[in-house]
Amino acid sequence: MSDKYDVVVIGAGPAGYVCAIRAAQLGLKTACIEKMKNSEGKGVNGGTCLNVGCIPSKALLDSSYKFWEIQHGSDQHGITIKDAGLDVPKMIGRKDAIVKQLTQGIAGLFKANGVTSLFGTGRLLAERKVEYTDESGKVTVLEADNVVIASGSQPIDIPVAPVDGEVIIDSTGALELQAVPGRLGVIGAGVIGLELGSVWNRLGSEVVLLEAMEDFLAIMDQQIAKETKKILTKQGLDIRLGCRVTGSQIKGRGKSKKVEVTYLGADGAEAKEIFDKLIVCVGRRPFTENLLAPDCGVALDERGSIYVNEHCATNAPGVWAVGDVVRGPMLAHKGSEEGVMVAERIAGHKTQVNYDIITNVVYIHPEVASVGRTEEQVKQSGEPYKIGTFPFVASGRALAADEKDGLVKMIVHEESDRVLGCHIVGPSAADLVQQVAIAMEFGSTAEDLALMVFGHPTLSEAVHEAALAANGHAIHIPNKRKR
């Protein structure tokens, strides 16, 4: 049996389902294969992001922050709350309901746009054929003019801390805990580790993060990273850098089980810690297992990602790959835009993705967000640059909201005045940095931003003032230099 499509997409995460919808909108006969199942054993779209990643973690981050704010932030507003209770299973249930609503929404979008939704597994064969195995085990070969691989990524396992799903868990398991661990260990202080550690820290757990790297949030501008670490430490997170885990051992039985973690500290000395739960968050790797037949013609790069060019075309004609399974940062929005680009290029358009202007966000509180180049990257390039910063403690809106931690940092070319990057730790950083991303897309200068009228009082005025500060014209803080 053989079915023919214009486009077959393998994977229905943010890169895959967006690609499938856009391809169908462009008049292409499209099918999308997804293997993920929900807790009821039914096929579900949305991939890691909607089911066990971006969305559920943000639901818990918001719930946990509300609880933390009741306990630590209400009193100074003249609001007294006594005996605030915590129902963790209900909190987890709310998260699950949000996930269900969004994944069902994708099913509705597929139906509305005419995408054929297939649950099961897909394997790329030669000549753009896809071996589709449905949930009952039935195998069908789908023929396609174009195949888009959007198989995503999966957590990296480490031999020194094997996940057992009970005491040692991965990021997925950390979203399903039914009680607050007394003491929680997290291996890895990257984006995922910080977000999950923040959730349980706010709910009352003593959280220790063991990070092998000596630099904190190395992907971020280091001035912003240092400020972020200071804020998180003040919140109670115990972040230990330069710590390499060498082993773990389960202690006790039943409900009294704990895990003893052995690691080498920054000074090289061996140390041990005992935790009620241990989350392993050391990164993710592209998912390619049983995905590519030997004769399919698709090559992998040295990191195990599918090799693609700047337009996400593989070296096999008519085969494309997008999202976490290809080079670049593993970000849902990056994958989604690649999905749109590929669908439109298949339809004959010349769409491109501007990889230089992709925002990156850590959804702790306050948020950390960036776009463009860091100061370290600009300095390494040898380009002349200037910097404008503005602290939220000088923002009337931030003070009114009791959100005074953090700052906006703007990096600007010394000669052309064009914005090269913006880095923020502070309230609504994810939304504020997008304003600068739009400006950068259109080649704006710091002066362009400085001449715009920003509403008052708003948090976005901090962006305005940072742009002014880059040229020594800030109004609400003293300038380092005058012109």
Active-site residue set: 456
Residues 385-417, buried b or exposed e (16+ Cβ, 10 A)? bbbbbbbbebbebbeeeebbbbbbbbbbbeeeb
Q: Classify residue 199 by burial, with Cβ atoms within 10 Å: 0-12, 13-18, 19+.
A: buried
Q: How many Cα neighbours within 13 Å face the side chain of 89?
A: 0
Q: Which residues, in sequence order, are CB contacts of 97 under 8 Å at separation 6+? A: none
Q: Contact, 68 vs 152, CB < 8 A?
A: no
Three-state SS at 396? helix
Q: Contact, 141 vs 1, CB < 8 A?
A: yes
Strands (DSSP E) found in 236-283: 238-241, 244-251, 258-264, 270-275, 277-280
Distances (CA, A) of 14 to 34, 103, 192, 332: 12, 11, 18, 6
What does the alpha-carbon distance between residue 233 and residue 242 come to, in Å, rounded to a whole number? 16
Asked if omega into 181 is within 30° of 0 (cis), the reply is no
Q: Contact, 346 vs 174, CB < 8 A?
A: no
Distances (CA, A) of 197 to 193, 202, 204, 331, 414: 6, 9, 11, 20, 39
Q: Contact, 128 vs 318, CB < 8 A?
A: yes
Q: Contact, 174 vs 196, CB < 8 A?
A: yes
Residue count (the chain): 483
